[in-house]
Amino acid sequence: MKQASGVQAQRPWYREPWPWILMSGPAAVIVAGAFTTYLAIAHEDALVADNYYKEGLAINRILQREDVALRGGYSAQVMFSPDGQRVRVRLEGAVDAPAALRLHMVHPTRADLDADISLASMQAGWYEGKMKLASAPRWTLQLEDEAGSWRLTGSWRPTEGAEVALRPHG
């Protein structure tokens, strides 16, 4: 807008676009920082254990259970149904076959997706249980008797087939 004398009148700063454009970057960073702070406070980091010392001591007990399975010659074949609703286990090497087994399916990064499956004996050395499992690219499997006296472990990738062999790692 021009005045009568030919000099252009200046608009106030808040009517100009450039200050707002320049302030939008730092404002976006402040909003993103506040949101990140909220996420850090509101959600627990499941990868960090509060009782890491006790978990470290428990490793010795786990190694002892794996050693029992190794000395006993235990091994297992785990077979998942195509619909993902049932699991069968063939246990070998057990002198006295237990009446039931527990299969722990551990997600590598999200503890809330872990599953514990009870397996009942169908006949000597064969066990079956029902499951409802979340989709994941990889699972760590841990098979043990109800007393927890031995343990077999393995890794399963559902895309590589419906069967996995479990062996003691010792």
pLDDT of residue 124 exceeding 60, the answer is: yes
What would the pLDDT profile of 82-105 be if each residue is shown by its tens digit?
887 899 999 987 667 788 999 999
User: Are the CB atoms for 85 and 69 separated by under 8 Å?
Assistant: no
H helices of the chain, in order, are 17-42, 52-72
**Which residue, among 28, 84, 58, has the nearest Cα to 151 in the 3D structure?**
58
Q: Which residue has the higher pLDDT, 168 or 4?
A: 168
pLDDT confidence bin for 131, thresholds 50/70/90: confident
Number of neighbouring beta carbons within 10 Å of residue 157: 11
Beta bridge partners of 86: 130
Number of neighbouring beta carbons within 10 Å of residue 118: 13
Predicted TM-score (pTM) of this structure: 0.62
What would the pLDDT profile of 148-162 be if each residue is shown by its tens digit?
888 888 898 888 888
Q: Specify whether domain 52-166 bears CATH 3.40.50.880.
A: no
**Which residue, among 3, 84, 66, 157, has the nearest Cα to 165 in the 3D structure?**
157
Q: Copy the structure tokens of residue 62.
A: 């786990």
- Which amino acid is present at 149? S
Long-range contacts of 165-169 (CB under 8 A, 24+ apart): 165/75, 165/76, 165/77, 165/78, 166/75, 166/76, 166/77, 166/78, 166/141, 167/75, 168/66, 168/67, 168/69, 168/70, 168/74, 168/75, 169/66
Q: How far apart are the first and last CA of the chain?
A: 86
